[in-house]
Amino acid sequence: MVSAPDGYRHRKHDVRIGRPGGAGSAWEKIDVDDAALAFRREGATVTFLSRCGRPVAEAQMMARHLVFGMPERTLVAAGPLEVAGRGGWTQTLELERDGMPLRLKTVTLVVADCTFDWVLVSTGAFEPAEAAFDAWWGTFQRGGRFREEREG
């Protein structure tokens, strides 16, 4: 992802996403393995993952892949939602890691042979982090070249 005036742009996948915001301190950009973008602040981390060119299933199934291998998790909520005018899937889970309670929320979008995932991991106050996370993934836009090559 490269920085752009309105956020970030992925040239290869022709998508854009804004910068995370919301009430509280500023989000710090960090490096996370396999993430196209990642930010952290006040007990919360948000990531954006982008994969194309591999076989994909519907969004609900791809979302489940994000939590395979996570021990002892409780599904709090899950269901369909709209991302950039397309059907996606969201899920919220509670779990513990090293004795610390975590809340995890994911949003998954599948378009043609691409999967786009947003992940929120919160160890602190979940509601403010969730509001900033939802606003952030809501800035996602697909470019014209992406639509023509992948959907046409």
The answer to whether residue 145 scores a pLDDT higher than 80 is no
The answer to whether residue 20 scores a pLDDT higher than 90 is yes
pLDDT recorded at residue 30:
96
pLDDT single digits (tens) 41-63: 989 999 999 988 887 888 888 98
Rounded to an integer, what distance in angstroms lies between the CA atom of residue 134 and that of residue 124?
Answer: 17
Residue 80 is part of which domain span? 2-151
30-42 mean pLDDT: 94
pLDDT single digits (tens) 88-110: 999 999 998 888 899 999 999 99
Please report, for the domain that includes residue 109, its CATH number: 3.40.1000.10
Q: Which of 15, 1, 6 is nearest to 86 (CA)?
A: 15
Number of domains present in the structure of the chain? 1
pLDDT recorded at residue 144:
56
pLDDT single digits (tens) 105-122: 999 999 888 899 999 999
pLDDT recorded at residue 70:
78
Residue identified by tokens 């194309």 is 52
pLDDT recorded at residue 8:
93
pTM of the model: 0.88
